Amino acid sequence: MRYKLLGKTGVKVSALAFGTMPFGGDVDEATARALYARCRDAGINHFDCADVYNSGRAEALLGRLTADARDELILSTKAYFPTSADPNARGASRYHLVRALEASLRRLGTDRVDLFYLHRFDDHADLEGTLRALEDLVRAGKVLYPAVSNFAAWQVARALGHAERLGFAPIVCMQPMYNLAKRQAEVELLPLAAAEQLGVFPYNPLGGGLLAWRYTEGMPDAGRIVDNKMYRTRYGDPAQLELAARFAALARELGHHPATLAVA
């Protein structure tokens, strides 16, 4: 496994991270344990989660899996999306972020997370207040590094500027949607990340399975793009399926599995 520097932090993370969104849902504990063991055998040291993944079950399962090797791993989680019917159990207010992190720490069975992502930009919360809450969580030792996901480039730039002006812990990385079928991040986000030396951890690197092998003959009977409305909207149109077939043909021509080529 190759290891890369996480932005300007000096921390080394595996070139591949493992996302745990299906844990506690489509992926049961036995399967999760097998996947985790495979990752560790391959040298992966970065595992990504979020509080909303299967109503917290993903975090709880990840916590059980990583308990014996916690200090060897980089764990990340996120907060923003609703976690209950409580109107305040969402967003990037101090009120929600503090409560969300405490709940995540309990489920993960740890005293800190290495990366804490704002899962989305909050138009209704004062950005300085959000950054101050993150700064306080960093000072308390409960968060090592703040991060952002699903932010536009201008939103990342604002957060970086405010944090620098206020002397707060900086945003160290971003998590955009990025794969060979969805390349919008190349326009502004990736150039910004390069200029500011931010780490980039793309999600959906296989396009929800589109860039693996399952969709080379059109839409199968089952699969994430078939069964999940969000993924069907994102990747299920005819143009995307045609792209998948052409990409799989190129992978065969080059002697690679499509999934391997997609993350190369």
Cβ pair 261, 251 in contact under 8 A: yes
* Chain Cα centroid distance, residue 261: 20
Q: Which of 216, 214, 217 is nearest to 248 (CA)?
A: 216
* Chain Cα centroid distance, residue 260: 19
Q: Are strands 173-175 and 46-48 parallel, antiparallel or unpaired?
A: unpaired
Q: Which of 61, 63, 50 is nearest to 21 (CA)?
A: 50
The token pair that represents 185 in the structure block: 């991040």
One of 3, 36, 53, 80 is an active-site residue; which one?
A: 53
Known active-site residue 53? yes
Strand partners, 5: 12
Which amino acid is it at 178?
A: Y
Geometric angle at alpha carbon 85, from 82 and 89, rounded to 5°? 45
Active-site residue list? 53
